[in-house]
Amino acid sequence: MNPKRILMISTMTLGITISGGLWSEETSAKASHGQPEKYEAQNLQVAAKDDFLQMLGASSDEEVYHSLLEGKSLADIAVNNNEDVNHIINLQITELTKQLDIRFANGSIPPSVYQSQKKEFADIIKRSVYGDRNT
């Protein structure tokens, strides 16, 4: 498979992860029992999806999906829509950090994993947003 296609798919997966939320089974199980965090998580997911599309200057997930299939990166989409690429990067770092914080707080991951993943976010997200170009 073409490395650029892999990067595009990874970028789309990251966008879906942010917009849909990646919650551990434990968190989902707790939320399904009517705890308030269920509503907070749902509100965060909707807000993140709206912010993500707004910061890209895109009107829908489909628009982003088709642009990625055409070989554009998230940075290309944002620039074409006169949006600041750094806002996309910061939003993704913030959302992934929130998800990581929840997993850590629930005991799903040990402190060493928490710290190592948190350190890697910025580089991974920048590579994802810019595609195969240098960041």
CA angle 79, 93, 128 (to 5 degrees): 50
22 falls in which pLDDT band (50, 70, 90)?
A: very low
- Whether 124 is covered by a domain: the verdict is yes
CA distance 121 to 10: 14
> What is the average per-residue pLDDT within 33-62?
65
Report if residue 32 sits inside a domain: no
Considering the domain boundaries, does residue 30 fall inside one?
no
Q: Is residue 122 part of a domain?
A: yes
CA 29 to chain centre: 22
3-state SS of 82-134 is CCCHHHHHHHHHHHHHHHHHHHHHCCCCCHHHHHHHHHHHHHHHHHHHHCCCC
Please state, in angstroms and rounded to a whole number, the distance separating the CA atoms of residues 64 and 30.
32
Amino acid identity at 56: L
Quickly state the pLDDT bin for 132 (edges 50, 70, 90).
low
Is residue 28 in a domain?
no
Residue 82 CA to its chain's centroid (Å): 21
Residue where the block lists tokens 């912010």 = 51
**96 falls within a domain:** yes
- The count of structural domains within the chain is 1
The residue with greater pLDDT, 85 or 135, is: 85
Determine the structural domain holding residue 116 and report its residue range.
Answer: 3-19+37-130
**Predicted pLDDT at 7:** 52
Residue 75, in any domain of the structure? yes
Does 25 fall in a domain? no
Q: Which one has a higher pLDDT value, 105 or 21?
A: 105
86 vs 112: CA distance, rounded Å: 28
| pLDDT single digits (tens) 88-101 | 899 889 988 998 99
